[in-house]
Amino acid sequence: MNDKGAADILLPEKRAGELDASVCGSRTGQKPEWLKVRLPTGDAYQHLKQVIVDNNLHTVCESAACPNRGECWSRSTATIMILGNICTRSCGFCNVMTGRPSELDYEEPQRVAQAVERMQLRHAVITSVNRDELEDGGAAIWAETIRQVRARCPETRVEVLIPDFCGSWQALQLVLEARPDVLNHNIETVPRLYMKVRPQGKFTRSLELIRRAKLAGLTTKSGLMVGLGETDDEVLAVLASLKAAGCDLVTIGQYMQPTARHLPVARFVTPETFERLRRSGMAMGFANVFSGPLVRSSYHAEEQAQALLP
């Protein structure tokens, strides 16, 4: 799941310093207590925000209105989003703008590397919008970004959360050859819901991408949202499919409707259910399953990858 969900808006009925992690109404009524997060604050938060501004970069934390932005930025971690902030796809869950992207910025990889250096990241997470209008889907920029970060910050681990490149395995190969430490591609939801949740995506194509990344010798990762109308049994079936494709790490988090134009929340999954899903995933043999209401693709990414990376 590309860290996409809620908007940071302080609702009047909340106590000072708290915000509701979902801002729009849904069929489920009142939001549960476990979906409250702290407002962003602190020197580390302000420093990281300035680094992003100085390097003219985008973050999925802001573009997708991630509810964990305050916590992560206060810990000096952020997910940098390359290839602009306009996506060619129109997923029903995503708060990133849809439209015609601007031209490519060939200096972006160097600026990303500079930002990673200034933030002194040990584990850098990079994602992107979909650029389906490009022949390679932006894969060349992806590969160059990885190389630039490696050259400038050789001790930094690089985790990438990539699109499916419309099934161009030649484009994927450009990214695989750049050898990121972790290759993440989100499955997002169960097959039955793809047409309304991820209409331009294909479940089998995403599984094939993960399979190819694993065959290339990379640590692989994927994520999905719950609360869109799926059943727990369907989630378990997706986990089994991911494991069969060679996925090492999985994240599972609550979908939260970013605006009234997006898909409504069908259910709020309890922390106890998230824990049951985690245990079931671990029993399948995943190296790590990070499952919880506020979990997103890059949330505590370094911690999750710890068991598999030197």
Tell me what pLDDT residue 166 has.
Answer: 96
Write out the DSSP string of 101-159. -----TTHHHHHHHHHHHHT-SEEEEEE---TTSTTTTHHHHHHHHHHHHHH-TTSEEE
Residue tagged 């990241």 (tokens) = 121
What's residue 306's pLDDT?
Answer: 82
Domains of the chain: 18-305 (3.20.20.70)
C-beta of residue 199 within 8 angstroms of C-beta of residue 186: no
| Euclidean distance between CA atoms 1 and 295, whole angstroms | 9
Say what the pTM is. Answer: 0.80
pLDDT tens, residue order, the chain (310 aa)? 444 332 222 222 333 333 333 333 334 456 777 666 565 555 655 655 666 666 665 554 444 444 545 455 445 456 788 998 889 998 887 877 889 887 789 999 999 999 889 888 888 889 999 999 999 999 999 999 999 999 999 999 999 999 999 999 999 999 999 999 999 999 999 999 999 999 999 999 999 999 999 999 999 999 999 999 999 999 999 999 999 999 999 999 999 887 888 889 999 999 999 999 999 999 999 999 999 998 888 777 778 888 787 6
